[in-house]
Structure 1
């Protein structure tokens, strides 16, 4: 049996819609229009350029609580990404019309969701993964999770869970890992903690960029690059 989808709101039950307050603005029509405008140039660029891979940054609501949906990749997969927390996505096919088509197709293959293109808010800039492949994040709002029927592909997905914006924006749930490469420079990367699974790597970087886009002023990036003498 596939694991039950879990939702985390900094250790508390989802907040009733009537008392959500400003948190609901993250998925509001006004915020959607603002984000679409900010992403317009990037969206137009990547819809016309050939890319290697795409992921769908899956916004949703759980009992009215704005959240982000994640998958845990199957530990039986081959390659570096098995067992990692990720967004639905994968490599582009020749049959894909553009990067958005790739993200929607991969989401259908992994989660059984047939999403329409109008749920997409836009496309963010590409980012390299651990294999140096450029991955393009596509942001979409799936709507209320209660209205969706998820059918995860067990060959690709081991678990599905969500983290609420209120959880992700709590400083006690934010961590950072420090790295030093070749003794020349050091850098930090974000980690999001205290959910059912730790969010790290490229998925954490994309989560950080998403929080900066949807919740400006609420999330403060602590990642930095320090050159060594």
Structure 2
């Protein structure tokens, strides 16, 4: 990984690239938002992940995720949703000034939109966090270098009706496997932070053959 991914120059580049989508997406309602926390862990650029509580209801309990959740009527916009949820889940206060921009939305199985909000939270000591035990079982980081190494990248092919439908990335060999929408958002982040270095694994559905 290039050592300047958290530099002021890198931040300016990312903010500039995300400016258009950020303005557009902040003006739209969305079902949910997550924070993609870019941090320095022991001096190394990394992404912060959570392991959702195994006691939660629903299909995503026990999954790796970014902090976030459903939008509430009192939320001003998706950025407010992501920052509020991060405070509630981790006790981590992130200001709007730390937000670099909004990444491409992803959609869950119910077709609800989830907007990823990229922010730099600076040097981070995991011991300083106060995870909400009702929502989070564990908090961990994966260095950006680790995520960019091909031996730690995989993919899963999904079929529908007996035919290939789409491919999603998977990130391996960390404390927990990163897959699903969280892996897709991770891929978007790596493409932004390390242009030309990360080879995308996300494959859009192909039209059926005649």
TM-score (norm 2): 0.94
Asked if 1:133 is matched to 2:112, the reply is: yes
Q: Which runs of 5+ in 1 are unaligned?
A: 1-21
Q: Which runs of 5+ in 2 are unaligned?
A: none
State the match for 1:19 in structure 2. Answer: none
Distance 2:44 2:90 in 1: 21
- Kept after mapping to 2: 8 A contact 1:71/1:161: yes
State the match for 1:75 in structure 2. Answer: 54
Count of aligned residue pairs for this structure pair: 208
- Kept after mapping to 2: 8 A contact 1:23/1:66: no
Distance 2:73 2:3 in 1: 39
Q: Superposition pairs for residues 80-229 of structure 1, below 5 Å?
A: 80-146=59-125, 149-224=128-203, 225-229=205-209
Distance 2:62 2:99 in 1: 27
Distance 1:147 1:191 in 2: 24
Distance 1:90 1:150 in 2: 18
Distance 2:64 2:46 in 1: 15
3-state SS of 1:24 partner: coil
The C-alpha deviation readout for 1:130-170, integer Å capped at 9, x for no partner, is 33211000000010013982000000000000000110000
RMSD, matched Cα: 1.5
3-state SS of 2:121 partner: strand
The C-alpha deviation readout for 1:165-219, integer Å capped at 9, x for no partner, is 1100000000001111123543211000000000000000000010001110110
